[in-house]
């Protein structure tokens, strides 16, 4: 899949749309989800143009990958959600209903999150 520079997170990265920022460094931006599903719902994104975890893991530099996953852990720690627990989730592709085609990691926390996935 080709990266679409007009996706909503690309616009946030360019400052064309606002966000409720939680963290930023050279390679990572984290902000609160606009439609939170849990009391704490943060999205962590790389600044590079990666469509999905598939694209990111295959094509990002080692520095970007290390920076991203260190940031995810640090952000969760700073949010204070690791004591009671939280869920990290990266929807990838159609079956997972990935809505925004820019790689992002959800951090869900702040209540009992239930079982991992609904059985059908
Ligand atoms: P996905 O389904 O792709 O894993 O999740 C995309 C997430 O992005 C959704 O939880 C949705 O609420 C969030 N989202 C969509 N548009 C915006 C926006 O403009 N700002 C913010 N902060 N979050 C957004």
State the CATH number of the domain containing residue 54: 3.30.428.10
Band of residue 118 on the pLDDT scale cut at 50, 70, 90: confident
User: Across residues 70-93, what is the average pLDDT?
Assistant: 98
Q: Quick one: which of 27, 36, 29, 39 has its CA closest to 79?
A: 39
Residue 10 has pLDDT above 90, yes or no: yes
Please tell me if the CB atom of residue 74 comes closer than 6 angstroms to any atom of ligand 1. no
Question: Count of domains in the chain?
Answer: 1
**For residue 44, what are the β-bridge partners?**
30, 105
Task: Give, using CA atoms, the residue closest to atom 5 of ligand 1.
Answer: 99
Whole-number average pLDDT of the chain: 97
SS3 of residue 74 by DSSP? helix
Check residue 89 and report its DSSP letter.
Answer: E
Residue 43 has pLDDT above 90, yes or no: yes
Residue 119 is assigned to a structural domain of this protein:
no
Residue 116 has pLDDT above 90, yes or no: no
Residue 115 is assigned to a structural domain of this protein:
no
Question: Does pTM surpass 0.75?
Answer: yes
Residue 22 is assigned to a structural domain of this protein:
yes
Please tell me if the CB atom of residue 34 comes closer than 6 angstroms to any atom of ligand 1. yes
Residue 54 is assigned to a structural domain of this protein:
yes
- What is the extent of the structural domain holding 23? 8-109
Phi, psi of 74 (to 5 degrees): -65, -40
- Catalytic residue numbers, as ranges: 104
Cα–Cα distance, 98 to 100 (Å, whole number): 6
């Amino acid at each position: 899949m080709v990266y679409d520079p007009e996706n909503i997170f690309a616009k946030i990265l360019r400052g064309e749309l606002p966000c409720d920022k939680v963290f930023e460094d050279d390679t990572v931006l984290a902000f609160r989800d606009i439609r939170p599903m849990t009391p704490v719902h943060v999205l962590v994104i790389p600044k590079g143009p990666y469509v999905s975890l598939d694209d990111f893991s295959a094509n990002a530099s080692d520095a970007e990958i290390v920076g991203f996953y260190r940031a995810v852990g640090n952000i969760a720690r700073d949010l204070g959600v690791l004591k009671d627990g939280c869920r990290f989730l990266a929807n990838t592709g159609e079956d997972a209903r990935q809505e925004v085609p820019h790689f992002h990691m959800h951090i869900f926390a702040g209540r009992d999150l239930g079982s991992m996935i609904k059985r059908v």
